[in-house]
Structure 1
Amino acid sequence: MPTTLRQRLAALTESDRTADVVRVLLALIGVLAWCVARNEHAGTVPAMLGVIACALAETDDAWRARLRGLLVTLACFAVAAVTVRQTIALPWLFALALPAGTFILVMLGAVSGRYATIAAATLILSVYTMIASDPSQATGGPWLVTMAMLLGAAWYGLLSLTWSALAPQRALRLSLARLFEALAAQLDVKAALFEPVRDLDRSALDIQLASLSARTVDALNETRTALLDRLGRRQPRGRMAARLRLYFAAQDIHERISSSHYPYEKLADALFHSDIMFRFGRLIRLQAMACRARADEIRRTLPPGSLALPRHALEDVRSAVQLGAGTRDASIDEALSGLLRNVERLQETLASGNEAAWDTDYALQNPDPPTFGEALARIRVQVTRRSMRFRHAVRLSLGLLAGYLLLLAVHPKHGYWILLTTLFVCQPGYGATRLRLLQRVAGTALGLVAGWTLLHVLPGGDWRLPVVVATGAGFFAFWRRRYTLATATITLFVLLCFDEPGASYDAIAPRLLDTLMGAAVAAAALRFILPDWRGRSLPDLMADALAADAAYLRHIAMQYTRGRHDDLPYRVARRDAHNALAALAGSINQMLAEPAHTRPATEAALRLMTHSQQVLAHLSTLGAHREALPDGPEGAMARRALEQVADGYERLSRLAREGQPLPAADTAWLGSLEAQASQAAGLPRLVGMQALLLAKAQAGFTDIGAASG
């Protein structure tokens, strides 16, 4: 077998999507076989819809958590299906239950990501129940549809539970592999910042780096959840302990990648006639390759081997830095020494795959609420007009109500597809809704054309059955990354399913019309019902980021007092700072897709994102070099400088949240910090220089606020 074909087959086998598709395929085949064997054709379509809804509610949990999630899912499904069945014959009652149930389910997602997924799938199953209960579609008794749908969901849940028990570590292993791939992508962009040219667009690279850092943060959060789910209260041992160490190693690598010891453009100017910048960039690219090798090793469950680490490239960087030492500006020499120590430690972490050199607390913070009261508290705190979740809940509830009223007014033969389209298209943000709208309409048209062609060329026979199963599984192959194709396959799935009573030809034109009407309802809801223009939330997100940065800096300052210790409070503060920056960057990216008249100055927003990224980079530099400062006046002044800077960021956060103007820079204080840093040496100098850069960055927020205002 050719190497490339073998590699592609291996990648397909090891893909997380492949497992999802295979599970759905087996579940659909099981439903079909059971119904055909027992001659229960009326329950085939509802049971298949139940399989798809339960698969959409699935999360990558271990079997115990998956069992709890399955029980919650089936309970939510049962309540939703019975409610729909009981109220659908009474339009006035259904019109009350639909928005109320939608609002409750969307707000339930505030408890945790797991509940958000279950709530979204429950809404989908509710609309599936409406469609399958339509007199033009239903072929069984009044409760056959509901029971078949719930049994289909239970069957898929049982299959998924068995799958999880037989392969308990697969999801964790794939999460770790994705994490190291995200780190490798971030390292590649980091290396590009070291290009020794003067006209390099480093602002664009900073924006790209912020986006990739957000992706890494998502991968870290996903891996932490998978670890918590499989560890529980047990002490990690063997392979589990090794994977936990890999997670902590990835955290350390991310902190080092995120660091910035000195402004890159100033380094490029100062070292323009030297090859130091080039050598640093080449070394970091080779370390990115080592990260990808580590990801491949994890994904393929290979025994830990010796990575092809760039040892010669590291030696070349050492030689180049030492060669000109003493002839350059002292601040440049200090920055290069810090950079060198950083890449050395990064390589050590890559080589060992753990953090054995540091005193590490292996506790993990559980994102799920510990008590029912805490879950209710999380929901209550979101019940405010300023909450994006609350606004989306109101918008989606009223949008579905408007779709239902339109259905009653127009009442095409398959009118409930209006609600399904509105549900899928109406997203929390304008840009995501617009993209989903275009993808949904294009995918529906493509699926209708394919369905009409198949029904025209092959008008009868049992050929539909394997095609139905294949399209149902194909939906999950494209669901997360190619939504247009996913919509096309699920459209074909539905057409062939409902062809049993001979309705497919009649459903083609109404289905397209319903899709257009549902998309129009979603677009109108987004535009007129509590429009969530992201530019309005930037002050709050900036305040959140500044507060998280201040908390992170205070934890760093404590470590410079007592020495490096990766305890849980420190790691939580670090993660909160990265999550806050990821939320700010994501909101700005979504804002750029909104109409120009709804957003503030675009240039100021992009400057805010890059400026916040630089602040976190300087904090990460301090975090990467944590160790106890020496006793004496230099160490005391460095610690005091960090506390003063943290006070300044807390003050900025408070003023930004209150909508007050941010203060101008205190030039006397900046001058004092610069004098302290220049007179120090060694670690106190590095800490003092980073404190100075962070203090100067505070003035940058004032300028950005003035420009956007």
Structure 2
Amino acid sequence: MSTATTFIYEHIKELQQFLKSVNFSRAMRVGMAVTLPVVAGIQLGCLEIGLALSFGAFWSSPSDVTGSSQHTKIGILISATLIMLVSFIKGYLHFDLWLLLPLLGLLTFAIAFLSVYGFRASLVSFSGLIALVLSFSHDSEVLEVYQYAALLGAGGLWYLLLSMIWYRLNPKAETEEFLSETYMLTAEFLETRGKLINPHADHKKLQAQLQRLQSQLTENHKTLREILILSRRTSGLSNYQDKRLLIFVQLVGMLETAIANPGSYDRMDALYKDHPQFIKLFQHLIFEISYQLRMISLAGTDKKKLPKNDKLRQCFKDIKLEIDVLRETLNYAEYLMLQNLLEYQEKQFEKIKRIKWLLGEPNSTEIDAIDRKVAKRFVALQEYNPILLLRNFSFSSTIFRHSVRLALTFMIGYAIGSLQPFQNPQWILLSVIVIMRPSYGLTKRRAKDRIIGTFIGGAIATAMVFLIRDSYAYGVMGVASLVIALSMLQKNFRASATFITLGVVFIYAILQPDIFTVIKFRIVDTLVGAGLSYAAMRWLLPTWEFVEIKESIEKSVKANKDFLHQITQYYLYKGTIPTSYRIARKKAFLGTSALSSAFQRMTQEPMSKQRGTDEIYELVVLNHTFLASLASLSTYIQHHKTLEASEQFKIVSDKIDENLQKVLQCLSNNKCGGKWVHAETDPNLKPLLPKLNLLEVKNLPSKDKEAIRNLQETHLVWEQLQWLFSISATMLKMAASVKLDG
């Protein structure tokens, strides 16, 4: 196949996936919800009613996001109610500019401040802000204020009805898409881990890539938990949801095993340097597992397309042969390290086989369904207590500062648009609410993308207006452009801004003959809105990440400390794995991902507003490395029958816990003297370490699996304890030296 043919084929596949995606489906739903009332209104001679219903549907649509269907319904209903209230209030705001500005600022603050209740509440808030802004562009001359507001609410109900019907037609779509994306992200994570095996690879770059992928995966896991655990189960979907939840559990386990490192990085690098043949062998194995996950993703629900296990079995066979050949020459540490690494990959293979079995439509009686009451403990439920508003009503709250900043920017933007000869001053405000975010880096990037997208859209619109002079064509292209824009909003903001500009221009082309003036003011208004957003984030009550990141580090260290405690308790007392253990593991993974995201936001801020970047980066990396070691211990003790824990194990784990507690105290009050800081090699630790030697491994019969297993366990556990102690001591030194207060 030629390069050109391959290029075309890949892009056709991408287009097909885009057209099947939930985002495109949702955009089509919005397009229908907006278009049908207008068409019906024109046909029945009730255009004002049709427009009101259309606006209500469009303004309520942002709350329609992936997650629990019940939460989505509630979100749309609250959005419709807020839109009614905002439009009713706006209908009576006919005051002079000097009085209107503070009222507009108060209303904007109140709507934006609802975001303290989490992500879904921020979308409800966004609906209210859109209603406030766009209500300036249309005052009904036929309907009374209360009638118009009521019809906007009815439009929200119309959108909710359409959304529910759409869901009933294809209730599995969101689950399948997010599972498919999770397969792909997990495959990419595994592939990146495979590349790290090479000692000559760019480890810093690959580690950064792993942190990014882990953040994306934990976000996907969070969404899937909500979809699979909180969504109502109907008789037709019950078995399907049970199987998908079990598949999700396997994918979470694969991420933990992939993060796990059965030995310190230095010793692993030394092993691969001395025996480079294992680099190729293990990479080939890991890449094949990654490839199989991609094939599972592409297979979807078609079990005939699921990949076979033959290649993976051959990979394991090749590695085992090579280990047996080198058994006589390897020292005990190398041999046991390779054995443990091989077993970790075997666990991945077991999970892959389990996923394929579940996708192969097994009999429901063969499936051990997960207890939903227990599973709900893994979903972080949002608190909706009104006390949250009071708790966040201070300048120490990021949402409060953002709400004040947005309100002041609104007032400035509306004043500029009203006092200067702007054709559509509301477009300035629309640019502000679309661009401005609590994070400086995201606001800057969205401002840039919005400007570039608007210029591109304006240029394309100008060329098309020259070529086409048909109002019906403008209408079709306008709706199509808005559908594409909405479907790309989450994935590619620049492309979305381009199509939004096209859609707005085509719709205005139907209403106004001087379309080039519309294009000109669209660009000017966007530039003003983007400039105001950037300036406000830079100088108006700015929030800098170096002030906030201390809390992210504390939360991550605390989560790792809790996970260590659960691992220690389970290793000491055995039995069944408690739910608290799994919850602690989930929080540890979420904590490290949140810390990585916070650090990335920090690096996007102006250099003058960054503090201790190198030290903070080191703490972030150490925290990730600590979690990798915890994951290694966790993976091993979950899947193997372990020996009775020694008193030495308890002593060393207590020392590690003590170090982490001191790290938290250092971060909390920035007062920790040199006497707190341990040396990386505690002199009291050496006598506790087990005495192993090469002869123990060489003289063991190959069939004495129990003896080999005991040696593997001893080696892995003590290797990880040494590594955890070393990392915790280094973290304590870093925490004692870095200054994180602004």
Same fold (TM over 0.5): yes
- The answer to whether the 8 Å contact 2:230/2:376 transfers is no
Shift of 1:201: 2.2
Distance 1:565 1:235, change over 3 A: farther
Which of 94, 103, 109 is the equivalent residue of 1:103?
109
Return the offset for 1:172.
1.6
Do structure 1's residue 435 and structure 2's residue 435 form an aligned pair? no
Q: 490, 493, 504: which one pairs with 2:500?
A: 490
- 449-458 vs 534-543, which moves further: 449-458
**Shift of residue 253 of structure 1?**
0.7
Shift of 1:346: 1.3
**Does the alignment pair 1:449 with 2:463?**
no
- Whole-Å Cα distance in 2 between the matches of residues 145 and 450 of structure 1? 35
Contact 2:117–2:382, Cα closer than 8 Å, also in 1: no
Give the Å deviation of 1:216. Answer: 0.9
Following the alignment from structure 1 to structure 2, what is the Cα–Cα distance between the partners of residues 18 and 327?
59
* Distance of 2:610 and 2:646 partners within structure 1: 45
Asked if 1:225 is matched to 2:226, the reply is: yes
Shift of 1:313: 0.6
Match of 2:684 among 672, 679, 691: 672
Residue type of the alignment partner of 1:688: W
Q: Distance in 1 between matches of 2:735 and 2:235?
A: 49
Equivalent position of 2:320 in the other structure: 318
Are positions 1:182 and 2:212 aligned together?
Answer: no
Does residue 552 (structure 1) correspond to residue 553 (structure 2)? The answer is no
Q: Distance in 2 between matches of 1:336 and 1:398?
A: 61
Shift, 1:621, TM fit: 0.8
Spell out, residue by residue over 1:612-639, the C-alpha distance to the aligned partner (whole angstroms, 9 max, x if none): 211111111111112588565x533223
Q: Deviations over 1:379-400 (max 9, x none)?
A: 4444443433333222222222
Alpha-carbon distance in 2 for matches of 1:617, 1:325: 27
Please tell me whether residue 54 in structure 1 is matched to residue 56 in structure 2: no
Contact 1:203 1:610 in 2 (8 A): no
1:407 and 2:409 matched? no
Give the whole-Å Cα distance in 2 for the aligned partners of 1:25 and 1:64.
23
Q: Distance in 2 between matches of 1:358 and 1:331?
A: 39
Provide the secondary structure at the position in 1 that maps to 2:685. helix
**Uncovered stretches (5+) of structure 2, i.e. residues with no partner:** 359-365, 693-710
* Residue identity matched to 1:289: Y
In structure 2, do the counterparts of structure 1 residues 302 and 30 end up closer, same or farther at CA, with 3 Å as the change threshold? Answer: farther
Deviations 1:146-166 (A, max 9, x none): 455444433322211111122
- Taking structure 1 as reference, are residues 453 and 35 closer, same or farther at Cα in structure 2, changes over 3 Å only? farther
1:416 partner letter: Q
Give the root-mean-square deviation of aligned CA atoms: 3.2
The within-5 A match list for 1:235-384 is 237-274=238-275, 275-297=277-299, 299-300=300-301, 302=303, 305=306, 307-308=308-309, 310-325=312-327, 327-353=329-355, 363-365=375-377, 367=379, 369=381, 372=384, 375-384=385-394
2:697 — aligned with what?
none
Per-residue deviation, residues 651-681 of structure 1 (Å, max 9, x unmatched): 2112212223475642397333344233374
Work out whether residues 478 and 507 of structure 2, in 8 Å CA contact, stay in contact via their aligned partners in 1.
yes
User: 2: CA distance between counterparts of 1:487 and 1:44?
Assistant: 26
In the alignment, the residues of structure 2 paired with residue 666 and residue 234 of structure 1 have an alpha-carbon distance, to the nearest angstrom, of 59
Amino acid aligned to 2:488: F
> CA separation of 1:285/1:630 partners in 2, compared to 1, >3 Å: closer, same or farther?
closer
Correspondence 1:524-563 to 2 at 5 A: 524-563=535-574
Distance 1:13 1:418 in 2: 32
Residue of 723, 728, 732 corresponding to 1:693: 723
Alpha-carbon contact 2:56-2:83 (below 8 Å) kept? no
Q: Residue 172 of structure 1 corresponds to which residue in structure 2? A: 175
32 and 359 in structure 1: CA distance in 2 versus 1, 3 angstrom threshold: closer
CA contact (8 A) 2:570 2:577 kept: no
Given that residues 192 and 281 in structure 1 are in contact (C-alpha distance below 8 angstroms), is that contact kept between their aligned partners in structure 2?
Answer: yes
Give 1:595's match in structure 2, choosing from 591, 600, 606: 606
Checking the alignment, whether the CA contact within 8 Å between 1:107 and 1:393 is kept in structure 2 is yes
2-structure distance, mates of 1:553, 1:381:
32
Q: What is the Cα deviation at residue 411 of structure 1?
A: 5.5
Contact 1:190 1:257 in 2 (8 A): yes
Partners of 1:370 and 1:206 in 2: how far apart?
A: 32
Residues 205/127 of structure 1: CA separation in 2 closer, same or farther (3 Å cut): same
SS in 1 for 2:684: helix
Q: State the number of aligned residues.
A: 698
For the 8 Å contact 1:552–1:573, the answer to whether it is kept is yes
Alignment of 1:380-391 (within 5 A): 380-391=390-401
Q: Corresponding residue for 2:707?
A: none
Report the CA distance shift for 1:141/1:14 in structure 2 as closer, same or farther (over 3 A). Answer: closer
Deviations 1:283-338 (A, max 9, x none): 111111122222233x3454795644611112222222333336434333332222
Partner of 2:616: 605
- SS of aligned partner of 1:679: coil
Residue 605 to residue 241, structure 1, CA distance change in 2 (3 Å): same
Letter of the 1:318 partner, please give it.
K
Shift of 1:414: 1.0
Comparing 284-293 with 449-458, which one deviates more in the overlay? 449-458
2-structure distance, mates of 1:208, 1:367: 27
Aligned-partner Cα distance in 2 for 1:101–1:322: 73
Deviation at 1:690, TM superposition (A): 1.2
Aligned residues of 2:662 and 2:732 also touching (Cα < 8 A): no
Q: Distance in 2 between matches of 1:10 and 1:504?
A: 34
Unmatched 5+ stretches in structure 1:
none
TM-score, normalised by the number of residues in structure 2: 0.86
**Structure 2 SS opposite 1:666:** coil
Hey, what's the Cα distance between the residues in 2 that align with 1:471 and 1:359? 44
* Range moving further from structure 2, 250-259 or 271-280: 271-280
Is the contact between residue 127 and residue 416 of structure 1 (CA under 8 Å) also seen in structure 2?
A: yes
Contact 1:656 1:662 in 2 (8 A): no
Q: Contact 1:326–1:333 at 8 Å: present in 2 too?
A: no
The 5 A counterparts of 1:3-14 are 4=9, 7=13, 11-14=17-20
Match of 2:629 among 618, 621, 627: 618
Distance of 2:295 and 2:313 partners within structure 1? 15
Amino acid in the other structure paired with 2:197:
F
Q: Name which of 154, 159, 165 aligns with 1:156.
A: 159
> Residues 214 and 582 of structure 1 are in contact (CA less than 8 Å); yes or no, is this contact kept in structure 2?
yes
Structure 1 match to 2:652: 641
Instruction: Report the CA distance shift for 1:16/1:453 in structure 2 as closer, same or farther (over 3 A).
Output: same
* Change over 3 Å in CA distance of 1:221–1:61 after alignment to 2: closer
Instruction: Give the Cα–Cα distance (whole angstroms) in 2 for the partners of residues 408 and 456 of structure 1.
Output: 31
Paired with 1:175 and 1:16, the residues of 2 have a C-alpha distance of 9
